[in-house]
Amino acid sequence: MNAQKLKAVIFILAFLLVLALIITWATNWDAKRRAQEPEEPQQTEQIEVTPEPPQETPVPAQQPTVPTVPTPKPADQPTQPQQPTQPQQTAAPTVPTPVPTPTPLPSGQLLGSGSFHSETGTGLNLICDWKAVSVEGNKAEITLTVSAESWSLHLSDMGNNVFISVGGQPAEMSQPQMDHDGGYTVTTFGTRSFTVPLNEGTNNFSVAVEWHFNGSYSGTPLDVIECGTTITLTR
C-alpha cells in the first residue's frame, strides 16, 4: 500500500471519530437542557355530564269505591199478585161459501131436436134426424137417425162404410141393401145414441156424418157423401 492511500484512510477514520464525538456531545447537551426546563402540567379534558331531571312516577287515579248492595233473598222480595190468565181467543174457522148445486133436469126431458142433410146436387143425399133428452140430471143423450133419399137405386149391403161423430165421440154404421125403381124413396140406415156432459148454460156439440158411397149417381161421381151441423143445448 502506498503512502497516499494510507493517509486517505487515516483521514476518513479521524473524520468519522470527530463526527461521532460531535453527535454525542449534542445529544448530551439537549438532554441536560430538557431536564432543567420546568414541566408544564398536562391539561386533562373534562367531560361535563348534565344530570337528567328526575322522572316523576305517575300516581294511579283512585277509582271511586262503589258500596256493595246485598242482593235480597227470594224470601225478602215482596210477592207480586199473579195476574189472572186470560183465555186465548181462537179464530173462528173459515166456512167456505156454499156453491149452489144446479137443479137436475128430470130424466127423459126433451132438450131439442132437428134435421140436416147433404147437398150433392143429385137425387141421392144423406138425411140425419136428431133428438136430445136429459139423463142423470147433468148429461144429455143425443140420438142420431141416418137415412138416404133417392129415386131409383140398386145397391147391395156393405158393412161399416158410414162414419158418425157427435161431440168427438165416433161410431160406425153399415149401408143396407137398396133396390128400387121409380119414385122418391127414403131408406133408413139405423140409429146411434151418444151420451154427452151437460154443463150449466149453453152447450154446443159438433155432428158429422160420412157415407163412403164410392160410386156415381145420375152420371155424377160420388166417392163420399157427407153432411154435418152443430147441436146447441141449453140447461
What's the pLDDT tens digit per position in 107-122? 899 999 999 999 999 9
Residue 138 lies in a domain: yes
Residue appearing with cell numbers 483521514 = 11
Decide if 32 is inside a domain.
no
- Nearest 5°: phi and psi at 56? -85, 130
Question: Is 34 among the domain residues?
Answer: no
Q: What is the pTM of this model?
A: 0.57
Strand partners, 234: 202
Number of structural domains the chain divides into: 1
Contact 192, 167 (CB under 8 A): no
pLDDT of residue 27: 85
Residue 189 in domain: yes
- What local confidence, expressed as pLDDT, does residue 93 receive? 67
CATH code of the domain containing 182: 2.60.40
Q: How many residues does the chain have?
A: 235
**What cell was used for 135?**
139423463
Q: Which three cell numbers stand for residue 137?
A: 140430471
Q: Are 216 and 222 in contact (CB under 8 A)?
A: yes
Cβ 231 vs Cβ 144: under 8 Å: no
- Domain contains 142: yes
- CA separation for the pair 194, 208 (Å, rounded): 13
Q: Would the pLDDT of 91 be above 60?
A: yes
Residue 225 to residue 121: CA distance in whole angstroms: 11
pLDDT tops 70 at residue 15: yes
217: containing domain: 110-234
Dihedral Cα 14, 19, 20, 25, nearest 10 deg: 130
Question: Closest Cα to residue 154, out of 121, 187, 118?
Answer: 187
Instruction: Specify the pLDDT at position 193.
Output: 97
Tell me: the pLDDT tens digits for 165-186?
999 999 999 999 999 998 999 9
Within a domain: 19: no
- Give the pLDDT score at 80: 56
Please give the share of the chain, as a percent, with pLDDT higher than 90. 52
- Is there a domain that residue 93 lies in? no
Predicted confidence at residue 28, as pLDDT, reads 82
Does any domain span residue 147? yes
pLDDT in tens, 191-219: 999 999 999 999 999 999 999 999 999 99
For residue 216, give the 3-state DSSP assignment. strand
